[in-house]
A and B are shown apart, each in its own frame.
Chain A
Amino acid sequence: MREEGYISPRQAAVLLWFAILPTAILFLPALLVLRAHQDAWLSIIVATLAAGTVAVAVYLLARRFPHYTLFQCCELILGQVAGKAVAMVFVLAFFQLNAVVIREFSEFLATAVMPETPCLFFSISILIIAIYAARNGLEVITRCTDFILPLMVIFIAAIFLLAMPEMATRHLLPVLENGIRPVLGGALVAWSFLGQVVILATYGAFVNPPRALGWSLITGLLGIAFFLGLVVMGAIMVFGCCEVERLTFTAYDLAQVISLGQFFERVEVLFLAIWVAGVFIKITLNLYVTALGLATVTGLKEYRPLVAPLGALNIVMSCLLYRNISEVRQDLLLVEPGWTLTWQLGLPLLLLVVAWLRGKRRTGA
């Protein structure tokens, strides 16, 4: 199905930031440091390069099939049956991703802020807003980001700058203590977050002009790497890598150490507000993409009726997926890298190769 609105390349890049950063800055650093220790920032560079291959695949697909979403490309390239099957895999993958994000969101709030509130309450309240936003279409979601983006960017930068007095660059040494392998292992973990740039293949169809998609991808990916690197490096320099490993919600702890002249303290509450707004965009975008994909696969004219039931299903799924928070973390460390590599890198590359072999393109549209 088709969406009527269009977004600018800049907005597409910003959406990409929101599709990855909010949960990544919170959950990734501890896991990354567990693998790569003080070289975690190198892992981010490696993972960014790896995610660059996805970006290239997305870009090439978009050049072959401008104005077509990833789900439509599947059918165009692989034919109806196989195409629908692959598109369904994407839909399920985005659905599962969203369930994990919702779970991460509510687990964090329940742990760090309101332990007495049932976890379900957080997921339901954010999903109500997300459903409302997603039903209004992509343009509305992007306009939300216009408001939240400055807050988020300023805040991440401010956290880094204000935590600077607590930082010591010596914590980043020695570089490559155990060779390159821990760095690659860390990159594998970081990958499962950064590989989500594949989401641009879906809403990228509504970017106008389509040839600017490359710019969106590059800016998006570099921005993500930059902010993620800022948080990871900041955390390592403040706490030392042994300690970051222990801090489950790293960015939150980083906000907690900020103290400016005895009165500007406890900014983590501010962090929380902005972070929730960021996660809201992330969840909304994933929900929108899932509904859009399901509508495409089943050949509907409208994705809107699917948003609310999918959201409800997402909540249930987020509760059913894991029994406790350490299962979430374990999953992010031990399962997600393989799974995300498959659907975020493997499948787009497969599509691209098949399209190239069969000489399919739809540039005239």
Chain B
Amino acid sequence: MKAWLRWLAASLLLVLLPALTAGCWSRHEIEELAVVGAVALDAAPGDQVRLSVFITLPRAIAGGPSMGGSSGGAPAKVGEVISATGSDFAEAARRLEELIPRRLFWAQNHVLIIGEELARRGLHSLDFFSRERQMRLTMLILITSGEARQALDLPAGIELGPGTILTGIVRNKTTFKVELKDLLAMWEAPGDNPAIPRIVMTPAGGQESREAGGGGGGGSKGGGQEGGKKKPPEAVAIKGAGAFRDDRLVGWLDEKESNGLMWLRGEVREGVVTVTLPGQGAGQGQGGGRPQDFPRDQTRSQTQGQASVIFHRINAQTTARVEDQQLTFKVEIRGHGDLMENTANLNPDRQEDLQAIQEAVNREVGERVQAVIRKAQQELRTDIFGCGEILHRSNVRYWRQVRDHWNEEFTRAQIQVQVDLTLRRMGMTNRAPGKTGSTGGKGATQGTAR
């Protein structure tokens, strides 16, 4: 009797256990998923939003771009762009799932592109992207003038999908990087406003084209299918930035200004500064008077040239000071650079030439920073530098007075910039190539170069 009961219980357990343990409710096989590789958000007519996703086609990725080439001329299609409109992104995402035979899978998504119109409406609709559990807080945020959806139509090049193309470009560190978590932090901090790197597409053909279905209810397939109707962009660049006041886009920074922003925020990594150096008096008298001195090229002494310096890492420190109701921020930018290119007739081995390059670099960086300060204070009237947070950290009492109208207060603040960049290394060679002067000569060069 006892043994019999035990057997019954055991077999019951055996039957129930697989049903309970293996049958996960939330299991999804990879064949059932539509892997989202990039997302574009646009405004749609009637206060609606349009969600476009780039869905990676697993077969195309596995086959590689050469497979597509073999099938007759057409460029390999590694993904499909689909979009849908809805009154919010959750609704739009659900409508997307009406269009495709698989479930949307967001976890592989690395890029989020925001269209200009939506950005001008405000970022509050981004809630979905931090609430949805599959979303990464580390996804890149980019902004574009015009329609964001177009960026998804990028043709496959070195990289296959727009997601990998754009993350790859950002990884080159030519521009600053804003991840979702950074954006949220900038947006939520009372003394900061977001600035998001901007995608520029060339040629901007079909700027005004709308997807087939138009606004209203369901979305429509687009992208490759539409083919002739819309010219996809040929290439893409990330330069400039969109500046926000609170959660609304208020204006654009051009390349120089967004670079200045990077310097000001200390976010320069591998930043290259190119300066034009005036044609110099070619060290007349110096070369002759001091034969032991390092020579310059004597043949093109009068022409002007360029020098480029790379800064791998810089340090920007902003301090706030309040003196009888006048708020002053002092930005100190420090860093060591390496000479990358020197087409000017300068020999960095000579301390005065080195000083000349250094001064020109400092002046150039100062100008860039001043440009963005002017823009932010006078034109955009928004604190995209996070100066408010700096004030918040250093002078809580004053901050409390100005917190509620910080962006107006910011426009009245004085920002002093002090650039103190030094040139430390010259690369693999010293002077620019060319014939050295009559007094120095080849012999002298060799002599001094040990």
Contact = CB atoms under 8 A, between A and B. Distances in A.
Report if A and B touch in the complex (beta carbons < 8 A).
yes
Interface of A: 111-118, 121, 125, 166, 170, 173-174, 177, 238-240, 242-243, 246, 253, 256-257, 259, 266
Chain B at the A interface: mostly helix, strand, loop or mixed? helix
Contact of A253 (B137, B185, B190, B389): B137
B188 A240 contact: yes
A53 to B, nearest CB: 32
B26 A174 contact: no
Given A240-B189, A242-B185, A256-B137, A174 B24 contact: no
Contacts of B130: 246
Contacts, number: 56
Nearest to B390: A170
Contact of B133 (A115, A117, A177, A243): A115
A111 B26 CA distance: 11
Nearest to B167: A262
Contacts of A114: 24-26
Interface stretch (B57-65, B235-243, B295-303, B391-399): B391-399
A108 B190 CA distance: 30
B184 interface: yes
Given A239-B185, A242-B188, A117 B26 contact: yes
A242 B189 contact: yes
Given A174-B396, A253-B137, A125 B21 contact: yes
Contacts of B133: 111-113, 115
Contact of A116 (B26, B136, B181, B392): B26
A117 B188 contact: no
A174 B188 contact: no
Contacts of A112: 133
A177 B184 CA distance: 22
A196 to B, nearest CB: 28
Contacts of A253: 137
Nearest to B189: A242
Contacts of A170: 389, 393
B158 interface: no
Nearest to A245: B188
15 contacts: A113-B133, A115-B133, A117-B25, A118-B25, A174-B394, A238-B181, A240-B185, A240-B189, A242-B185, A242-B190, A243-B184, A253-B137, A256-B136, A256-B138, A257-B138
B136 A115 contact: no
Given A125-B21, A174-B396, A256-B138, 20 more contacts: A111-B133, A113-B26, A114-B26, A115-B26, A117-B24, A118-B25, A121-B25, A125-B20, A170-B389, A177-B392, A239-B185, A240-B185, A242-B185, A243-B181, A246-B130, A246-B184, A246-B188, A253-B137, A256-B137, A257-B137
